[in-house]
Chains A and B, each alone.
Chain A
Amino acid sequence: MGRTPMWRRYLRFWGSDASADVDAELDHHLGELVELLVREGHRPAEARAEAERRFGDYAEVKEACVDIDQSWERQQRWQRLLADFWQDLRVGARTLAKNPGFAISAVLVLGLGLGGATVMVSVINAVFVRPLPFPEPDRIVSVVRHDSRFRGANEFHPQRNVAVLRDRSKAFEALAGIGISPGINLVSQHGSTFISRVEVTADYFQVFEVAPRLGRAFSRDDEVAPSTVVLSHDVWAGHFGGDHGIIGQVVRLGGRPHTVIGVMPSGFWSFEQADAWTPFRPDPSGGDQNYRLIGRLGAGWTPAQAQAELRAASTDLHADLRDPRDEARLDVQSYHESVAAGTGGLVWFLTAAVGAILLLVCANAAGLQVARTVGRRQELALRAALGGLRGRLLRQLLTESVLLATAGGAVGALAAATGVSGLVALRPRLAIWDITVDGPVLFGAVAIAVLSGVLFGLLPGALAVRSEAADTLRAGQSRSVTTAHASWMRRSLVVAQVALCTMLLVSAGVFLRTFAGLSTSDLGFDPANVLTARASLEGPAYGSRDAVAALYRRTLTELAQLPGVEAAAVANNLPVERGLQMLLLQRPDNRMEPAEADWRYVAGDYLDVLRIPLVAGRAFSAADHRAAAPPVALVNEMFASRFGGRAVLGTRLQMTAGEVDDQMREVVGILGDVRTRGVTATRPTVFVPVEQVPDDLLAEAHGFLQVNWVLRTRQGATGLVRSVERVIGEADPLLPITAIRTMDEVVGAAIAATRSRTFLLGLFAVAALTLAAAGLYGFVAYTVAQRTKEIGIRLALGASRARVTARLALQGVVLSATGSVLGVGAAALFTVALRRMTPDALPLDSWTVAGVVFVLGAVSIAATVVPAVRATQVDPATTLRAE
């Protein structure tokens, strides 16, 4: 067997030269042929010509051969690439499997981080970036009112604005007013239910340019005698069973007959999340401030032009400002922005978190990779020395990174899907945005992580491969003597990681503490053993206080006599739920500055049922619960503290809901504060006896909020739910009870609203802690383990184990301390920014900071000490000889 000639070997590297090969082969043939012919007696010159003649068309033969060879060549190259890739994959998988700790932590870190980031970007994308699902959504705008009596922009207008502006303004194709209505009783031949109904002006659907699926939308005629209703697809498909004969049917809404004229298509996106829409005719002199104003800009109008036009047209419209120093103006802003703003706080927090988490993931991926690659320098150098090509080695590293990132991406996709559904479950309001896990976003997140992993895996790898293989091998154990550059990189990574983790954990800690402090705090009442039942009294049946008082009198008397019931009362809203927000027309201190307070009416033994303490003065007496009695009010401590404390007793106040005023009342008592904004906050509150409320204010209150029966029950009382339903049902068979819950459940629901944010934060905290701990531990432990050799030398030279360990631990402490300081600084800035957004947030506190710094410090010191101890346990001689 002949030796393969040298030149042939090179072909492998440069790709063979098919043309030259074929030439050589055919030349050989011609040479032999010429020789034969010469032997047969031809003269050499003739022999050559004869050979070429016998051979045939040289060019044609050559071309055919070259073609065949080249196509083969290409095929072979592909096969080799595939085989190489497959080998890389197997080697990569084997390498990772050999180090399952690294592999699992890297995949989890990547997966959780990517999943979290993807959820957040998906939310941001759905809420802020994706256009609203309407034709030309950019032309849909909100008109907001800046009123000097309220802080910031106010989306709510007096009814008058709706009526006048839609006639005066030429900037809009359609300008519609939207009332607010939390719910109404729907009674039809299919039964009775409680739905959310929104009053809109006739042009509402034109603003969105969405036509009904069945029937028609409103016309201005519908406003005149408002007795028509358009249903949402959900209610039509649910309550009405998708009845196609629905159009023209008469249903009762809040007791009034309404004819169904239309059904909207499914997916008609409504920020109001309405089940039904009814028309109203805006009153040109109506002053009640409960209407939002949205419009579709006319062709060629910009929001700025429309704003200028509206302002010019509205100069005379601010007559509701009774004080000449108050002023108001109108702004036109994007509808998308104004509805997205409702989700704002949460989403901006998420945005900040995305960046932090992605950074953390990249830092971790990078840190782990750098540590690993530096640790593998010897292996890489050895493979390079054995003839491994640099490109091939780098490709191996790349394959491993891609393998990790792919696995991480799979975990991330799962985490993201779970996260999105969990988020929507926690925050039902987010459902309108139709948030889905974003494929491109997930891909982008994975790409970023892969990129950072690859970058940080390849850089040291490339250095290792490039450096003279023999040097690395000879220096061999040079693992102990890391270069200044590598060590700087390692240290800054540790510091950056500690800093990032500290910042995230401290910020999350502040949130958690804010919540924890509030949820366990005194609610101001006793929710145990209290049963509540809720219904809507909106509509003509309860248009007068006599009717309302009669209903309460009858039901409260019967309820109080039920076995197991100690006391019964009614309030137009429960603690931990919002009340009717009203302005003080007459302040107890007689000053003219505007002030707001919650207004709540009560019937029965309200204070006894909820065990709200009376702080000063007297509670309502039986005499107060009469229409003819002198008007009185109770205020809470917070209210009192704003108006002179106890001095508020005996003073007079009057409240107004815009157009509708309450009576002038005398303050007769001060109650303990009760949480009324969820479980987290209290507002100044005024309580009044229901019997003393004017009819129009009652209608106003019932339009906004449902009323609640509350019962104090004996421990272990059972069967009360059915009894309550029976008593109320007997008093009014047409009144649907919308919810019967224990007060504990009501409080729980209120907590849950806060909890969604807290849960997310907790999730961040846990994810951040996991990321931080896993990344930090893996990273630090790896770098210390690499110094095994150095430790061996120190021990051999006579250093004590304790001394060596202490030295390493000290270095760990210095690095984590530096990171902690930076992290706490960043967290302080973050907290300040946060407090500017949500005043309820607590400031940075030393306990949170101390806790976080302690935990992270412990992790990094453990990560330093454990491998160091392990290294010092080994006989120095073994350590030195190892490798």
Chain B
Amino acid sequence: MSKPSNLVQGTLDLLILKILDLEPRSGWAIGQRLKQVSNDALQVSDGSLYPALHKLEQQGWISAEWRNTENNRRAKIYSLTPPGRRYLRQEAANWERLSQAITHVVRLTEV
């Protein structure tokens, strides 16, 4: 449903975790950052972000806390948990290997 079709399964999770690795953010801020770092190449509809966040929270990779933001809005702020950080490192390494392999294959066929 809310999984963007042009994203490989699990990629969105990886991106969210990576973004949270730098600092805790609200769902809104995560969405903004996502657009920013991917130069709008990754088109994720705003709504689809949230089920992914809740799922990650349930899995224990991220935790949430209600805080007041600078403009005094009450926001649910997500942050990476220690197990989440380990998981991110492992998945990032996997992604690295996979993408290199794919890149390699793609170039081969072009020649």
26 A–B pairs (Cβ distance < 8 Å), ordered by A: A2-B65, A4-B65, A5-B66, A5-B74, A25-B76, A28-B27, A28-B73, A28-B75, A28-B76, A29-B31, A29-B46, A29-B50, A54-B45, A55-B46, A55-B47, A56-B2, A56-B45, A56-B48, A60-B2, A61-B2, A61-B51, A64-B50, A65-B51, A68-B51, A68-B54, A68-B55
- Asked whether B26 is an interface residue with its Cβ less than 8 Å from the other chain, the reply is yes
The reply to whether B67 and A68 form a contact with Cβ atoms under 8 Å apart is no
Task: Give the contacting residue for B74; candidates A24, A65, A68, A72; CB below 8 A.
Answer: A24
The reply to whether A33 and B28 form a contact with Cβ atoms under 8 Å apart is yes
Residues in chain A near residue B58, CB distance under 8 A: 68-69, 71-72
- Asked whether B68 is an interface residue with its Cβ less than 8 Å from the other chain, the reply is yes
The reply to whether A29 and B1 form a contact with Cβ atoms under 8 Å apart is no
> In the bound complex, how far is the Cα of B67 from the Cα of A1, in angstroms?
8
- Which A40-81 residues sit within 8 Å CB-CB of chain B? 54-58, 60-61, 64-65, 68-69, 71-72
> In the bound complex, how far is the Cα of B66 from the Cα of A61, in angstroms?
20
Distance from A555 Cβ to chain B, minimum over Cβ atoms (Å): 94
Besides A4-B66, A25-B50, 16 new A-B residue pairs in contact (Cβ under 8 A), listed by A number: A2-B65, A5-B66, A22-B50, A24-B74, A32-B26, A54-B46, A55-B46, A55-B47, A56-B45, A61-B2, A61-B47, A65-B51, A68-B54, A68-B55, A71-B58, A72-B57
- Asked whether A31 is an interface residue with its Cβ less than 8 Å from the other chain, the reply is yes
Contact with B along A7-49 (1 / 0, CB 8 A): 0100000000000011011101101110000000000000000
A28-B75, A64-B1 known; A56 vs B46 contact (CB < 8 Å): yes
Residues in chain B near residue A32, CB distance under 8 A: 26, 28, 73
Dominant secondary structure at the A interface: helix
Residues in chain B near residue A72, CB distance under 8 A: 57-58
Distance from A817 Cβ to chain B, minimum over Cβ atoms (Å): 67
Binding site for B on A (CB under 8 A): 1-2, 4-5, 8, 21-22, 24-26, 28-29, 31-33, 54-58, 60-61, 64-65, 68-69, 71-72
Of the candidates B46, B65, B68, the one having the most CB atoms from chain A within 10 angstroms of its own CB is B46
A55-B46, A55-B47 known; A64 vs B66 contact (CB < 8 Å): no
Distance from B65 Cβ to chain A, minimum over Cβ atoms (Å): 7
The reply to whether B47 and A57 form a contact with Cβ atoms under 8 Å apart is yes
The reply to whether A8 and B66 form a contact with Cβ atoms under 8 Å apart is yes
Residues in chain A near residue B48, CB distance under 8 A: 56, 61
Task: Give the contacting residue for B73; candidates A5, A31, A57, A58; CB below 8 A.
Answer: A31
> In the bound complex, how far is the Cα of B25 from the Cα of A381, in angstroms?
44
Distance from B66 Cβ to chain A, minimum over Cβ atoms (Å): 6
> In the bound complex, how far is the Cα of B51 from the Cα of A24, in angstroms?
14
> In the bound complex, how far is the Cα of B57 from the Cα of A55, in angstroms?
21
A2-B65, A24-B74, A25-B27 known; A60 vs B55 contact (CB < 8 Å): no
Distance from B30 Cβ to chain A, minimum over Cβ atoms (Å): 10
The reply to whether A65 and B46 form a contact with Cβ atoms under 8 Å apart is no
Residues in chain A near residue B47, CB distance under 8 A: 26, 55-58, 60-61
> In the bound complex, how far is the Cα of B28 from the Cα of A54, in angstroms?
13
Distance from A132 Cβ to chain B, minimum over Cβ atoms (Å): 61
The reply to whether A61 and B50 form a contact with Cβ atoms under 8 Å apart is yes
A5-B66, A28-B75, A55-B45 known; A65 vs B50 contact (CB < 8 Å): yes
Contact with A along B19-50 (1 / 0, CB 8 A): 00000001110010000000000000111101
> In the bound complex, how far is the Cα of B2 from the Cα of A660, in angstroms?
105
> In the bound complex, how far is the Cα of B46 from the Cα of A216, in angstroms?
89
Residues in chain B near residue A33, CB distance under 8 A: 28, 46
> In the bound complex, how far is the Cα of B41 from the Cα of A390, in angstroms?
57
Distance from A53 Cβ to chain B, minimum over Cβ atoms (Å): 10
- Which B74-97 residues sit within 8 Å CB-CB of chain A? 74-76
Closest residue of B by beta carbon distance from A18: B54
Residues in chain A near residue B54, CB distance under 8 A: 64-65, 68-69
The reply to whether A2 and B68 form a contact with Cβ atoms under 8 Å apart is yes
Closest residue of B by beta carbon distance from A21: B76
> In the bound complex, how far is the Cα of B55 from the Cα of A21, in angstroms?
15
Distance from A666 Cβ to chain B, minimum over Cβ atoms (Å): 107
The reply to whether A2 and B67 form a contact with Cβ atoms under 8 Å apart is yes
The reply to whether B73 and A26 form a contact with Cβ atoms under 8 Å apart is no
Distance from A64 Cβ to chain B, minimum over Cβ atoms (Å): 4
> In the bound complex, how far is the Cα of B96 from the Cα of A579, in angstroms?
103
Residues in chain B near residue A31, CB distance under 8 A: 73
Closest residue of A by beta carbon distance from B60: A72
Of the candidates A29, A31, A60, A64, the one having the most CB atoms from chain B within 10 angstroms of its own CB is A29
Distance from B40 Cβ to chain A, minimum over Cβ atoms (Å): 13
> In the bound complex, how far is the Cα of B26 from the Cα of A288, in angstroms?
105
Closest residue of A by beta carbon distance from B45: A56
Residues in chain A near residue B2, CB distance under 8 A: 56, 60-61, 64
> In the bound complex, how far is the Cα of B28 from the Cα of A32, in angstroms?
7
> In the bound complex, how far is the Cα of B55 from the Cα of A64, in angstroms?
10
Task: Give the contacting residue for A29; candidates B27, B57, B65, B74; CB below 8 A.
Answer: B27
Distance from B35 Cβ to chain A, minimum over Cβ atoms (Å): 11
Distance from B13 Cβ to chain A, minimum over Cβ atoms (Å): 13
> In the bound complex, how far is the Cα of B31 from the Cα of A32, in angstroms?
11
Distance from B46 Cβ to chain A, minimum over Cβ atoms (Å): 5
> In the bound complex, how far is the Cα of B66 from the Cα of A550, in angstroms?
113
The reply to whether A24 and B76 form a contact with Cβ atoms under 8 Å apart is yes
> In the bound complex, how far is the Cα of B48 from the Cα of A31, in angstroms?
17
Distance from A54 Cβ to chain B, minimum over Cβ atoms (Å): 6
Residues in chain B near residue A29, CB distance under 8 A: 26-28, 31, 46, 50
Closest residue of B by beta carbon distance from A68: B54
Residues in chain B near residue A1, CB distance under 8 A: 67
Distance from A29 Cβ to chain B, minimum over Cβ atoms (Å): 5
> In the bound complex, how far is the Cα of B94 from the Cα of A67, in angstroms?
30
Residues in chain A near residue B31, CB distance under 8 A: 29
Closest residue of B by beta carbon distance from A58: B47
Residues in chain A near residue B73, CB distance under 8 A: 28, 31-32
Distance from B78 Cβ to chain A, minimum over Cβ atoms (Å): 10
Closest residue of B by beta carbon distance from A25: B76
Closest residue of A by beta carbon distance from B30: A29
Contact with A along B52-64 (1 / 0, CB 8 A): 0011011000000
Closest residue of B by beta carbon distance from A62: B50
Residues in chain A near residue B27, CB distance under 8 A: 25, 28-29
Closest residue of A by beta carbon distance from B68: A2
Residues in chain A near residue B66, CB distance under 8 A: 2, 4-5, 8
Of the candidates B26, B47, B51, the one having the most CB atoms from chain A within 10 angstroms of its own CB is B47
> In the bound complex, how far is the Cα of B31 from the Cα of A69, in angstroms?
20
Residues in chain B near residue A61, CB distance under 8 A: 2, 47-48, 50-51
> In the bound complex, how far is the Cα of B48 from the Cα of A57, in angstroms?
9
Distance from A66 Cβ to chain B, minimum over Cβ atoms (Å): 9
Distance from A78 Cβ to chain B, minimum over Cβ atoms (Å): 14
Residues in chain B near residue A54, CB distance under 8 A: 45-46
Distance from B23 Cβ to chain A, minimum over Cβ atoms (Å): 13
A8-B66, A65-B54, A68-B51 known; A28 vs B46 contact (CB < 8 Å): no
Residues in chain A near residue B76, CB distance under 8 A: 21, 24-25, 28
Closest residue of B by beta carbon distance from A35: B71
The reply to whether A26 and B50 form a contact with Cβ atoms under 8 Å apart is yes
Distance from B28 Cβ to chain A, minimum over Cβ atoms (Å): 4
Of the candidates A2, A33, A58, the one having the most CB atoms from chain B within 10 angstroms of its own CB is A2
> In the bound complex, how far is the Cα of B64 from the Cα of A72, in angstroms?
14
> In the bound complex, how far is the Cα of B1 from the Cα of A32, in angstroms?
24
Closest residue of A by beta carbon distance from B55: A68
Distance from A246 Cβ to chain B, minimum over Cβ atoms (Å): 74
